[in-house]
Amino acid sequence: MRVAVLDLGLGNLLSIKRALERQGADVSILSGWDGGTDLPPAIVLPGVGAFRDGISALGRFKGAIEMAKGGGATVLGICLGMQLLLSKSYEGGEYEGLNLIKGEVVKLPPSVKVPHMGWNSIRILKRSPITDGVADGEFFYFVHSYHCALQEDVAIAETEYGTKVVAMVEKRNIFGTQFHPEKSGAAGARIIRNFLEVSKR
């Protein structure tokens, strides 16, 4: 299974690359895509950095995003990668997102310590192939200061941290996790394996 990890230049991609490889994926790290080569059927938007830098770096992948929009590739956005899928973010200003999913990225409430850092359990709202074999209440590793306020009904799992926090989204061929599956032990590995399975279809 060929998978492209989009390198947004915001940090180390070793963990996500290895997590995909452990599940048998053939991973290429792309620093841009202009349509010149075959785009792998599965695309991962990795999870570190600030929204502004991430969305700016995605300018190098316009073709790939268009392909994904048309259903030509299955996408997994992780943490910031999921937030980039939304319409808008208020992280460090106000920035337009990819608008693949309607919603806004907003700061976690002041009642809790920020970042939301550590293992939290998820409540599965809607069963999906990507949560196949994942128990309701399973723990995943979260690290984030902003979260997704969705304006369409695409949340498939949530957690709680001062407020209800969207943990996973699914919209046709687009998936997102607010947590880091590549840092979430066996449960995270299961999500990654499921994503690869879904991408094969």
Partner 1 sequence: MALTKRIIPCLDVDRGRVVKGIRFKDLKDAGDPVEQALTYERQGADEIVFLDITASSDFRETVYEMIKKTAYSLSIPFTVGGGLRSSIDVRKVLLAGADKASLNTAAVMNPEVIREGAEVFGSQCIVVAIDAKRAGPGRWEVYTYGGRRPTGLDAIEWARRAEQMGAGEILLTSMDYDGSKDGYDIELTKAVSRAVNIPVIASGGAGNPEHICRALVEGEADAALAASIFHYGEYSVEDVKRHLKGKGVSVRL
Interacting positions 36-55 with partner 1 (CB under 8 A): 48-50
182 included as an active-site residue: yes
**Cβ pair 197, 170 in contact under 8 A:** no
Of 124, 160, 171, 197, the residue at the interface with partner 1 (CB under 8 A) is: 160
Of 141, 146, 175, 179, the residue at the interface with partner 1 (CB under 8 A) is: 141
Q: Which stretch in 30-38, 63-71, 97-105, 139-147 sits in contact with partner 1 by CB under 8 A? A: 139-147
Query: What is the DSSP-derived secondary structure letter of residue 7?
Result: -
Q: Which stretch in 27-35, 58-66, 109-117, 169-177 sits in contact with partner 1 by CB under 8 A? A: 109-117
**Cβ pair 122, 142 in contact under 8 A:** no
170 included as an active-site residue: no
Show the tokens assigned to 110: 């002041």
Nearest-approach distance from CB 159 to partner 1, in angstroms: 6
Residue 125 CA, distance from chain mean position: 17
Of 26, 107, 109, 117, the residue at the interface with partner 1 (CB under 8 A) is: 117
Query: What is the DSSP-derived secondary structure letter of residue 130?
Result: G
d(CA 190, CA 147): 23
The C-alpha angle with vertex 85 and arms to 165 and 189, in degrees rounded to 5, equals 65
**Cβ pair 88, 50 in contact under 8 A:** no
* Chain contacts with partner 1 (rule: CB under 8 A): 10-12, 14-15, 18-19, 22, 48-50, 113-123, 137, 139, 141-145, 159-161, 180, 182-186, 188-189
* Residues annotated catalytic, as ranges: 79, 180, 182
